[in-house]
Structure 1
Amino acid sequence: MARPDLVPTLRELCIRVVSDTFEKRPTFVGLQAEDIKSITERLPLDLPLELAGDVIDDERYWWRRSTRRWRNSEVGAHGNSWKQLYFERNLQDALEQFDPEMSDLDQLRRLLSYSARFVRFLEITQLPSHLDLAHIFDCLDVSLCGLSLTYGMRDVGMDFERGLFGMRLPDCRSLARCLESCEALTCLSLSNNTLDDDGVRMLMSGMVDNLSVTHLDLSCNKIADRGVRALAKVLDSRCTITSLDLSDNVIHQEGGRALARALKQAPALTRLNLALNQIGDEGIRAISHVLQDAWGLTHLSLSANSGSNECVGELAALMQTNTVLRILDVSCNELGPASGPIILDALAQNEGLTKLDVRLCGLETEDMLRVEQALRQRQDAEITERVMGR
Structure 2
Amino acid sequence: MHQPMAGARSTAFPALYPSQASLAAHPPYTHRVIEDPKWSLVTVPHLSELCLQHIIHNFEKNPILDRLLPEHQRKVLDRLSTGLPLTVTVNLISDEDYWKRCCTERWQVCDVSNYGDSWKRMFLERHLENILKRFIPNTTDPNQVLELIPLCKDHVRKLEVDQFLPPVQVDQKEERDDISDTGSYNEFDEVPMHHYDLGVLITALPHLEELHLTYGVKDCGMNFEWKLFNFTHRDCSNLAVAVKMCHNLKVFKLTRSNVDDDKTKLLVRNLLDHPCLVELNLSHNLIRDKGAQALGHLISRSRLETLDLCNNQIHHLGAQALARALAENSTLTSLNLRLNCVEDKGGEAIGRALLTNTTLKSIHLGSNNLSEPTAMLFSQVLAQNTTLMSIDFSCNHLGLDGGKQLLEGLADNKVLTEFDLRQAEVDEETEYLIHQIVWANQEASRLESLQHIPDKPL
If the TM-score is normalised by the length of the shorter chain, which range does it land in? over 0.9
Aligned-partner residue type, residue 305 of structure 2: T
- Aligned match of 1:189: 253
Aligned-partner residue type, residue 156 of structure 1: C
Tell me, yes or no, if the aligned pair for 1:181 and 1:210 is still in contact at 8 Å: no
Q: CA deviation at 1:76?
A: 2.2
Tell me, yes or no, if the aligned pair for 1:166 and 1:192 is still in contact at 8 Å: no
Residue aligned with 1:184, SS? coil
Q: 1:105 aligns with which of 122, 134, 142?
A: 142
Matched, 1:19 2:56: yes
- Aligned match of 2:17: none
Q: CA deviation at 1:317?
A: 0.8
1:83-126 superposed Cα distances (whole Å, 9 cap, x missing partner): 11111111111111112332222342121332211211111111
- Aligned match of 1:224: 288
C-alpha change, 1:9 and 1:276, in structure 2 (3 Å) is same
Matched, 1:84 2:121: yes
Matched, 1:295 2:358: yes
TM-score by length of 2: 0.80
- Aligned match of 2:429: 366
Residue aligned with 1:100, SS? coil
- Aligned match of 2:86: 49
C-alpha change, 1:268 and 1:32, in structure 2 (3 Å) is farther
The worse-fitting range, judged by mean Cα deviation, of 3-12 and 260-269 is 3-12
C-alpha change, 1:106 and 1:23, in structure 2 (3 Å) is closer
Q: CA deviation at 1:32?
A: 4.2
TM alignment of 1:150-299, pairs within 5 A? 150-236=214-300, 238-299=301-362
TM alignment of 1:97-136, pairs within 5 A? 97-129=134-166, 130-136=195-201
Aligned-partner residue type, residue 136 of structure 2: D
What is the rounded CA distance, in whole Å, between the counterparts of 2:80 and 2:406 in structure 1?
65
- Aligned match of 1:320: 383
Q: CA deviation at 1:18?
A: 3.0
| Structure 2, gaps ≥5 residues long | 1-37, 167-194, 454-458
What is the rounded CA distance, in whole Å, between the counterparts of 1:242 and 1:79 in structure 2?
22
Q: CA deviation at 1:30?
A: 4.1
Tell me, yes or no, if the aligned pair for 1:252 and 1:279 is still in contact at 8 Å: yes
Q: Which protein has the larger Cα radius of gyration, Structure 1 or Structure 2?
A: 2
Tell me, yes or no, if the aligned pair for 1:276 and 1:304 is still in contact at 8 Å: yes
The worse-fitting range, judged by mean Cα deviation, of 172-181 and 87-96 is 172-181
The worse-fitting range, judged by mean Cα deviation, of 286-295 and 12-21 is 12-21
- Aligned match of 2:171: none
What is the rounded CA distance, in whole Å, between the counterparts of 1:29 and 1:132 in structure 2?
39
What is the rounded CA distance, in whole Å, between the counterparts of 2:451 and 2:374 in structure 1?
40
Tell me, yes or no, if the aligned pair for 1:250 and 1:278 is still in contact at 8 Å: yes
Q: CA RMSD in A?
A: 1.7
Tell me, yes or no, if the aligned pair for 1:166 and 1:195 is still in contact at 8 Å: no
Residue aligned with 2:399, SS? coil
C-alpha change, 1:324 and 1:219, in structure 2 (3 Å) is same
1:308-358 superposed Cα distances (whole Å, 9 cap, x missing partner): 012112111111111011111111111111223321221122201111111
The worse-fitting range, judged by mean Cα deviation, of 301-310 and 17-26 is 17-26
- Aligned match of 1:94: 131
What is the rounded CA distance, in whole Å, between the counterparts of 1:252 and 1:307 in structure 2?
12
Q: CA deviation at 1:262?
A: 0.9
Residue aligned with 1:122, SS? strand
C-alpha change, 1:17 and 1:4, in structure 2 (3 Å) is farther
Aligned-partner residue type, residue 223 of structure 2: D
TM alignment of 1:139-154, pairs within 5 A? 139-140=204-205, 142-154=206-218
Over the matched positions of the two proteins, sequence identity in percent amounts to 35
Which consecutive aligned stretches of 4+ in structure 1 deviate over 6 angstroms post-superposition? none
| Structure 1, gaps ≥5 residues long | none
Q: CA deviation at 1:282?
A: 0.8
Q: CA deviation at 1:180?
A: 2.6
- Aligned match of 1:344: 407
Q: CA deviation at 1:19?
A: 2.5
Tell me, yes or no, if the aligned pair for 1:84 and 1:118 is still in contact at 8 Å: yes
- Aligned match of 2:23: none
- Aligned match of 2:101: 64
What is the rounded CA distance, in whole Å, between the counterparts of 1:112 and 1:32 in structure 2?
32
C-alpha change, 1:166 and 1:33, in structure 2 (3 Å) is farther
Aligned-partner residue type, residue 239 of structure 1: S
Tell me, yes or no, if the aligned pair for 1:263 and 1:294 is still in contact at 8 Å: yes
Residue aligned with 2:159, SS? strand
The worse-fitting range, judged by mean Cα deviation, of 170-179 and 255-264 is 170-179
Tell me, yes or no, if the aligned pair for 2:208 and 2:246 is still in contact at 8 Å: no
Q: CA deviation at 1:144?
A: 1.2
Tell me, yes or no, if the aligned pair for 1:316 and 1:342 is still in contact at 8 Å: yes
Tell me, yes or no, if the aligned pair for 2:90 and 2:151 is still in contact at 8 Å: no
What is the rounded CA distance, in whole Å, between the counterparts of 2:134 and 2:354 in structure 1?
46
Q: CA deviation at 1:208?
A: 1.7
